[in-house]
Structures are given as structure tokens and as C-alpha cells.
């Protein structure tokens, strides 16, 4: 079965081609074809899972694509445990989201195109996950970026959506640029793109003593690669695109910006972990961990004050991604990947539930909602399960994965542990704030008439809820932690389970829930007083730490200013030069014209005038009068005689 793994991306690709080609004439206007493609991919992924669990060996397959001089460029796939996990996540969550979209996007004028783009995205993501060399990984990376652009800007008539898609693309592009530099750096020194060969050479110490620009080469390369992850996984400082990406339809937010694409960065760090691990003093890992930690905390603080339900979830995603990065950074390889898997399920669930709510209430603002638990029970219960999972409550999935990250942090870097703990508290707080605003109490909006979503939307919610509830158990220590056995990194020792820490993290979650209840449910502490107490901190957080404003002023305005300066240069100086040439030509032409008219023509006219004048003078010689002639004769005689006399 592993040998056929290359078929997996082709199912959604075929679906994409078919939908683009035939579109509405396909069954279900293309939706069923897309779902079928995804389902087939899921089935095959499950098959591969069983093979891997049956101790099959990881495989690597290559096909030569072209040769650059002496260097062959190859397409290849690698199927190992990490790949299997990612395949499962992408295909299973994807299938659920595709099914949900049938109901959510119902009635949209561009319905088939939506599914075409979703299928294209699935193909790209699977390609990325299966890649066994950096070049193919980068190709998949760029393709998911393209699909993200297309899908965020799906409602392109809305200028905010168009701007958001552009912002997403450009911001991730910055990260991609650094990643490409890292890829090139590795390629120049090792001469190959393939992971196997790279890791083997690094293991043998190929790059150990090399430096570039005074820094150790391996660290620089690893950090550059991480730059791509910073963009794609929305870490600080390239996180600004993810909240704006909520302009896209909710299934898109669920699939791309919660479960899979943003996880690609985390996946890439995990895939190239050897480089990070082998970098001198593991400095690259420190960079990863700290950026992850800062992101996690910052995003969590912003999430507390958001009123748009999708924005809350977006900032939550950023925060959780930061947590995953932090986990990877503190040598918690297994923990980070575990959290990626569980997060995919419960975040997708939360987004789809939010979509259900938005679909019913026709608004995103939680302040307008309320009391939906009675009207939309399926949505409510699944959303609650997802929230509990996210908050890290036993026995839901998030508890196991988050606890492992905190464990690793506690053992390797207590400062980051504190950051992680505070983040967990805030996560619980803001998620339950959303629950209290949205589902409990009475409905605050007077115009909406919410009703439960159709089955095609609620059934995937329940499937994801079941996963969110129980998937964590694959990492449960009392079951032997099979996940760890499945996915682990050679060279990192496993840290044994610590009950006290587990209880501590549970307590933190509980504290968060209780605080949220105190402020928003029982209204013991009014939120207004909290706002006043926080004062300047509140302003800072509400304005998202002014990142957008900073980028606007520095980069956007800067680029526009450069563009305008260049345009001014072009218009005034270059065009001026061109116009000068033109004017000079015109001036010369005028000069020539004047010259021609006055001097050349003047000469000609002068000749005519002289002739005329001479004629006018000479005509007096022949008057026709005999007496004049006689006078001339007499004068002639005088002259002759005078001449004769003088000689």
C-alpha cells in the first residue's frame, strides 16, 4: 500500500480538473466529486496507517524530473510515521469540512468553483506532506499559498476580502523568501535537496564547522527555513494576515487557517528537525521556542477582547500554533506534533460550529448573539466539546497534548513554561467568554431568527466532536502513549509523565473557566471594570499591539512612497529628458524652418529682386525714342574721342 501513496494527491487533483472542466453538470454541482476525491484519499490514508502500525518500513520513491548541469532534480515521496499522521489529519478533517461545505455554501453563485479550489488545496497540501525533497516541499508550500489566496478572496466583490487575500499572500511571501534562501544555502553546501541525504550528511557532521557571515551555517540555514514557517504558520511578526483571512468563507477558515495549511509550518520544522537539532548549541531551537512562546501569549491576550467570533478563533489559532512551535523548540518533538493533530480536529470543529452560528444569525458579532443553546443544540454541544478540548480539560484531546507541551517546557525552560501556563489560562478564559456570550443567556439581537443547521452540516460537527473527545487518548500515558512510540525523534529522551503537572494544568484551565464565568455568566465582576483596570494594556490589546499600523506605515507606505518617488523620477526626469529631446527636435525644426524661409528663400528672392531691379534699370536703354538714341550716340562719340585723346 505504501508504494501507492503517490496516488493520494491525485484523487483531489482529478476532482479539481473535473470540476473546472465540467462544473455544474457534475453530480451535486461538483460537490460530490470533491467529497469523493477527499474520501478516497482518506480511505487510502487509513490503509497506510494500518500498514505503518503493522510495522511496515518507511519508503522513499524518486523519479527524475530534469537535470540542471550535473544536478538532478527529482520528484519523490516519503512515507513514514510523520507523513502518515499528517495524511490522516488532512484527509479526515478535509472530508468533514468538504461535507459541511455542501450545506454551508448552498446557493452561492460560484458553488462549483469553491469545491474546485478546495480540491486544488487538498492536492497541494498532500503534495507538501508527501514530499521527500526541499524543492517539492517548496512547490507544495507555494501552491497552498496560492489556494489560500484564491479562497480568502472567494467573495472578491467585497473589497475587504480582496485586500485580505492580497495581505495573506504578500505576508506569507516574505516568509517564503527567507525559506528559499535557507533551501539554497543548504543546497549550495550539501548539493542535494533530498531529506534523506541532507539528514545523513548533517548527521555525519558535514556542516558542523562552516560559518556564513560570522554565524554558524547550520543555525542560519535552520532559522531561514523557520522564516517560512513564521509566515505560513502566522507567528510573530508575520501573523497579521491570519485574522484578516477570516474574510473567506468559514469552511475555508476551518480547513486552511486552522487545521492544515497553517500547520504546514509546524510540519516543516518537524520534518527538518535534524537541522534544528544539530545546530550549534541548539540555538535554532531556541529561536523557534521563543518566537512560538511570544506568539502564543500575545495572540491569547488579543483574543480576549475580540467580539467577532471568527476573529477570536483566529487569534486562538495563532496562539495554539505558537504553542506548538514552542513545544518543538523545547525539544518536545512528539508533544508539538501531537498538539498539531488534536488542534486540527477541535479547531476545525470550532470553526464549523462558528459557521453554523453565523449561518443562523447572519452576523459574526457575539455581542448580538445569546441563548443559542436552546435553538441550536447540536451546534451548542459540539462547540462546547471543542471548547473544552481547546481549554485543555480532562479527558478531551487538548488536555493530553497541551499537558505534554507544558511538561517539556517545564523541564527545559521554566520561563517558557510560565508563558505556556499563562497562555492556557487566557485560552480557557476567552473561549468560555465566547460560549457565555453566544450560547447562554438570552438573545440580544432582535432581528435574527436562528434555527439549527441542516444535517449535512451538523453530522460532520458530531464526527469531529467525537475525534476531539477521544483522539487524545492515543497519547495517554496510562495507555502506554502509543503516539510517542509512533512519532518520536532519535536523540531526544522521553520525559516521563508527571501527575502533579497534569493536575496543575487542569487547575489552570479550571481557573480560566471560573474567571470567565465570574465576569460573563454570573456577572460578579463587571467586564467594564476589568477594562478600566487594565487601562492602557487594554488599549494596546484592542489595537492588536499596533502591528498592522506599524506595517502599514513602514512597509506599505514605504513601498508606495518609493513607487511614487520612482514615478516622479520617471515622469519628471526621464520623461522630461524625452520631452527635452522632443522639444529640442521641435526647436531645431523651427530653426531650420526659419532658416529656410528667411535665408534660403531670401537668397532666392534676392536673386529675383536683383534681376527685376536690373531689368527695371536696363529698360531705360531702349526707350523707343530716337532722340534718346541720338544722345547716346553723341555720348559715345565723346567718349571715343576722349579715349583717343588720352592715349
Residue ranges in contact with another protein by CB under 8 A: 619, 622-628, 630-631, 634-635, 637-638, 641-642, 645
Of 188 and 640, the one with the shorter C-beta distance to another protein is: 640
DSSP string, 44-72: HHHHHHHHHHTTPPPEEEEEEEEEETTEE
Cα dihedral across residues 214, 215, 216, 220: positive or negative: negative
> Which CB, 610 or 641, lies closer to another protein?
641
Cα–Cα dist 256/120, whole Å: 12
* Closest CB to another protein among residues 499, 643: 643
Tell me whether residue 70 or residue 627 sits nearer to another protein (CB atom). Answer: 627
Residue 581 CB, shortest distance to another protein, in Å, is 59
Rounded Cα–Cα distance for residues 171 and 152 (Å): 14
Of 480 and 616, the one with the shorter C-beta distance to another protein is 616
- Backbone phi, then psi, for 599, in 5-degree steps? -95, -55
Q: Which three cell numbers stand for residue 217?
A: 551555517
Tell me the closest approach of the beta carbon of residue 591 to another protein, in angstroms. 45
Give the cell for residue 102: 455542501
Output 562 or 634, the one with its CB closest to another protein.
634
* Least distance CB 582 / another protein (angstroms): 57
Q: Which is nearer to another protein, 447 or 622 (CB)?
A: 622
Q: Which is nearer to another protein, 550 or 637 (CB)?
A: 637
Task: Report d(CA 321, CA 236) in Å as an integer.
Answer: 11
Shortest separation between residue 592's beta carbon and another protein, angstroms: 43
- 3-state SS, residue 78: strand
CB of 622 to another protein, least distance (A): 8
Q: DSSP letter string over 526-549?
A: -HHHHHHHHTHHHHHHHTGGGHHH
**CA atoms of 614 and 606, how far apart (whole Å):** 12
For residue 441, give the DSSP letter. S
Residue 386 near residue 330 (C-beta atoms within 8 A): no
What does each C-alpha distance from 257 to 116, 134, 168, 320, 321 come to in angstroms?
A: 18, 23, 11, 12, 11
Decide: 244 and 232 in contact? Cβ < 8 Å: no
d(CA 281, CA 302): 33
Cα–Cα nearest to 386, from 460, 295, 327, 488: 460
Q: Where are the alpha helices (DSSP H) in 131-193?
A: 134-152, 159-190
CA-based nearest residue to 87, from 5, 194, 196, 12: 5
Decide: 424 and 406 in contact? Cβ < 8 Å. Answer: yes
Q: Shortest Cβ distance from residue 624 to another protein (Å)?
A: 4
Tally of CB atoms within 10 A around 533: 10
Cβ at position 623, least distance to another protein in Å = 7
| 524 versus 643: smaller Cβ distance to another protein | 643
Quote the least distance from Cβ 610 to another protein, whole Å.
21
Nearest distance from residue 641's CB to another protein, in Å?
5
DSSP code, position 73:
E
Q: Is the peptide bond before 102 cis (omega within 30 degrees of 0)?
A: no
Closest approach of Cβ 609 to another protein, in Å?
21
Least distance in Å: CB of 583 to another protein? 56
Looking at the Cβ atoms of 499 and 646, the one nearer to another protein is 646
CB of 621 to another protein, least distance (A): 11
CB atoms within 10 A of CB 390: 30
Complex with another protein: residue 529 or 623, whichever CB lies closer? 623
- Nearest residue to 477 via CA among 366, 365, 400, 392: 400
Dmax (CA) for the chain in angstroms is 158
Please, which residue, 55 or 625, has the CB nearer to another protein?
A: 625
Query: Residue 480 or residue 624: which is nearer to another protein going by CB?
Result: 624
CB of 617 to another protein, least distance (A): 14
Question: Can you name the residues that pair with 216 across neighbouring β-strands?
Answer: 211
Question: Three-state SS for 448?
Answer: coil
Amino acid at each position: 500500500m505504501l508504494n501507492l501513496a503517490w496516488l493520494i494527491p491525485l484523487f483531489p487533483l482529478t476532482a479539481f480538473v473535473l470540476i473546472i472542466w465540467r462544473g455544474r453538470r457534475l453530480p451535486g454541482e461538483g460537490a460530490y466529486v470533491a467529497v469523493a476525491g477527499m474520501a478516497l484519499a482518506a480511505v487510502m490514508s487509513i490503509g497506510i496507517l494500518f500498514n505503518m502500525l503493522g510495522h511496515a518500513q518507511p519508503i522513499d520513491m524518486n523519479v527524475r524530473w530534469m537535470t540542471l548541469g550535473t544536478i538532478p532534480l527529482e520528484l519523490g515521496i516519503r512515507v513514514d510515521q510523520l507523513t502518515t499522521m499528517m495524511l490522516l489529519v488532512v484527509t479526515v478533517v478535509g472530508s468533514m469540512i468538504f461535507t459541511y461545505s455542501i450545506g454551508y455554501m448552498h446557493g452561492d453563485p460560484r458553488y462549483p468553483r469553491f469545491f474546485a479550489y478546495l480540491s486544488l488545496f487538498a492536492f497541494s497540501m498532500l503534495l507538501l506532506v508527501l514530499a521527500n525533497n526541499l524543492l517539492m516541499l517548496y512547490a507544495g508550500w507555494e501552491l497552498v499559498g496560492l489556494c489560500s489566496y484564491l479562497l480568502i478572496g472567494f467573495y472578491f466583490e467585497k473589497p475587504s476580502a480582496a485586500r485580505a487575500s492580497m495581505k495573506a499572500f504578500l505576508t506569507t511571501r516574505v516568509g517564503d523568501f527567507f525559506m528559499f534562501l535557507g533551501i539554497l544555502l543548504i543546497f549550495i553546501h550539501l548539493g542535494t535537496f533530498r531529506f534523506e541525504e541532507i539528514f545523513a550528511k548533517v548527521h555525519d557532521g558535514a556542516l558542523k564547522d562552516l560559518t556564513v557571515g560570522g554565524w554558524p551555517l547550520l543555525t542560519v540555514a535552520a532559522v531561514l527555513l523557520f522564516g517560512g514557517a513564521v509566515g505560513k504558520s502566522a507567528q510573530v511578526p508575520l501573523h497579521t494576515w491570519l485574522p484578516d483571512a477570516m474574510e473567506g468563507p468559514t469552511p475555508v477558515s476551518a480547513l486552511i487557517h486552522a487545521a492544515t495549511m497553517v500547520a504546514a509550518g509546524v510540519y516543516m520544522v518537524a520534518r527538518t528537525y535534524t537541522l534544528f537539532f544539530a545546530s550549534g548549541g541548539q540555538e535554532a531551537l531556541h529561536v523557534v521556542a521563543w518566537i512560538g512562546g511570544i506568539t502564543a501569549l500575545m495572540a491569547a491576550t488579543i483574543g480576549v477582547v475580540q467580539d467577532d467570533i471568527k476573529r477570536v478563533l483566529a487569534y486562538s489559532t495563532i496562539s495554539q500554533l505558537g504553542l506548538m512551535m514552542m513545544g518543538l523548540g523545547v525539544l518536545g518533538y512528539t508533544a508539538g506534533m501531537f498538539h498539531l493533530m488534536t488542534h486540527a480536529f477541535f479547531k476545525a470543529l470550532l470553526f464549523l460550529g462558528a459557521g453554523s452560528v453565523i449561518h443562523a444569525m447572519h452576523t459574526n458579532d457575539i455581542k448580538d448573539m445569546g441563548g443559542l443553546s436552546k435553538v441550536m443544540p447540536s451546534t451548542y454541544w459540539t462547540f462546547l466539546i471543542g471548547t473544552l478540548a481547546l481549554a485543555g480539560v480532562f479527558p478531551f484531546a487538548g488536555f493530553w497534548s497541551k499537558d505534554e507541551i507544558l511538561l517539556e517546557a517545564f523541564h527545559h525552560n521554566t520561563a517558557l513554561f510560565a508563558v505556556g501556563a499563562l497562555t492556557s489560562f487566557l485560552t480557557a478564559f476567552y473561549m468560555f467568554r465566547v460560549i457565555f456570550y453566544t450560547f447562554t443567556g438570552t438573545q440580544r439581537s432582535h432581528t435574527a431568527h436562528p434555527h439549527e443547521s441542516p444535517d449535512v452540516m451538523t453530522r460532520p460537527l458530531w464526527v469531529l466532536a467525537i475525534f476531539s473527545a477521544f483522539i487524545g487518548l492515543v497519547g495517554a500515558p496510562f495507555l502506554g502513549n502509543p503516539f510517542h512510540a509512533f512519532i518520536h525523534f532519535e536523540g531526544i529522551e522521553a520525559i516521563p509523565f508527571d501527575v502533579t503537572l497534569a493536575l496543575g494544568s487542569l487547575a489552570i484551565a479550571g481557573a480560566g473557566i471560573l474567571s470567565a464565568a465570574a465576569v460573563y455568566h454570573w456577572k460578579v465582576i463587571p467586564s467594564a471594570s476589568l477594562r478600566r483596570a487594565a487601562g492602557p494594556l487594554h488599549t494596546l490589546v484592542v489595537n492588536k499591539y499596533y502591528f498592522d499600523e506599524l506595517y502599514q506605515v513602514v512597509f506599505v507606505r514605504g513601498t508606495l512612497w518609493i513607487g511614487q518617488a520612482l514615478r516622479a523620477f520617471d515622469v519628471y526626469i526621464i520623461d522630461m529628458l524625452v520631452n527635452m529631446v522632443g522639444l529640442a527636435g521641435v526647436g531645431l525644426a523651427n530653426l531650420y524652418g526659419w532658416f529656410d524661409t528667411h535665408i534660403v528663400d531670401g537668397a532666392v528672392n534676392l536673386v529675383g529682386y536683383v534681376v527685376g531691379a536690373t531689368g527695371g534699370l536696363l529698360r531705360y536703354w531702349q526707350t523707343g525714342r530716337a532722340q534718346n538714341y541720338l544722345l547716346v550716340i553723341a555720348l559715345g562719340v565723346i567718349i571715343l574721342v576722349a579715349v583717343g585723346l588720352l592715349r
